[in-house]
Amino acid sequence: MNNPWLDIEKPDADFNVRLVGEFHPLQLYWGRDTQGRYLFIYESTIGRVPDKKSLPQLAGMTVAVALSASNAKLVLILNEATNWELFCALCLDLVRATSTIEDEGVAAAIFLRRLTRWQEFLKRERTKLLSKEAIKGLVGELLFLNDKVAPLFGWDDAIKFWKGPEDAPQDFAIHNTAVEIKCQAGGTKPTVRISSVEQLVPQLPVGYLVVYTIATAEQDDPNGFTLNGLVSRIRKELTSASETAREQFEDLLFMAGYLMREEYDEFCFMKVSLRCFRIEGDFPRISTEVILPGIERVSYALKIEACVPFEAKPTWWKD
């Protein structure tokens, strides 16, 4: 992520600003004030920016409204420049959320919704880097969302089907089918970690386990991708989806603990294989019936080779 404030000089008075995007429907600016603080500004006519009393308080930031005789500004100020990546992620979220609006009258409501969502996110303190295991898990879910679900059902429904970040028992609920996604590293023992009994106990009539095998790739490998790159690809695809789907996708990323960070570009992957198994009958798993009272949590390793007799795909699956 590039720092958009680095090439803006600190002014002697007022603000120094640069337009965020020439083709964006709103007047959005990166800026700096006389103290050198980083700013994000939305400028419009009076009555088009959010009401000052409705603005949420954001940890580490100041959110204000500045009025003049001719216009109004919504101003976001970063208190500590060291947190610029988090602030930039918030600002880019606002840019994306308003990028396709046709009526500026709805902008204030969108800004309020997104800022309120960020307030909730910052309170949860989910701003730390994801672990390598969490990165792989999120990569697997995003690959399935992008490669299998969206092409068949469309992005609006695909986003509704994605349940993993909401801590649901399975990662996807596609009509009457529950799908649990696992991602294993190529070259390791062919097992996947089942982190709870419920993961392989489908909450819907039909259940499947989908296993992606991924390998480490070089940065210049044409088949390689990063978590940031995968998220960016999906965001680009979502430009043709509804505003609701775009916002829900960003909310789900928040719930998964993801913010675009430069560190995620250090991990480059390539997809090796994809296998799907139907969870039924004697499928190898620990069931809830055998868990004795007093056992609060169970996790175990599942051998992929033991699942081979159950290899199958849903009727809607398209290769």
The pTM assigned to this predicted structure is: 0.85
Q: Which residues have a Cβ under 8 Å from the Cβ of 47 and sit 6 or more positions away?
A: 72
Which of the four pLDDT bands, split at 50, 70 and 90, describes residue 121?
Answer: confident
Centre a 10 Å sphere on the Cβ of residue 296 and count the other Cβ atoms it contains: 5
> In whole angstroms, what is the distance from residue 18 CA to residue 28 CA?
8
HSE at residue 14, side-chain half, CA atoms within 13 A, is 4
pLDDT digits (tens, 9 = 90+) for 270-300: 999 999 999 999 999 998 777 777 887 889 9
pLDDT confidence band for 187 (50 / 70 / 90)? low
Domain boundaries, the chain: 16-124, 132-310
pLDDT digits (tens, 9 = 90+) for 188-230: 678 999 998 889 999 899 999 999 999 999 888 888 999 999 9
Nearest partner of 130 among 253, 212, 269, 3, judged by Cα: 253
**What φ, ψ does residue 296 adopt, rounded to 5°?**
-90, -35
pLDDT, tens digit, for every residue of 28-48?
A: 999 999 999 999 999 999 888
Instruction: Name beta bridge partners: 67.
Output: 72
pLDDT score, position 125: 61
pLDDT reading at 318 higher than 80: yes
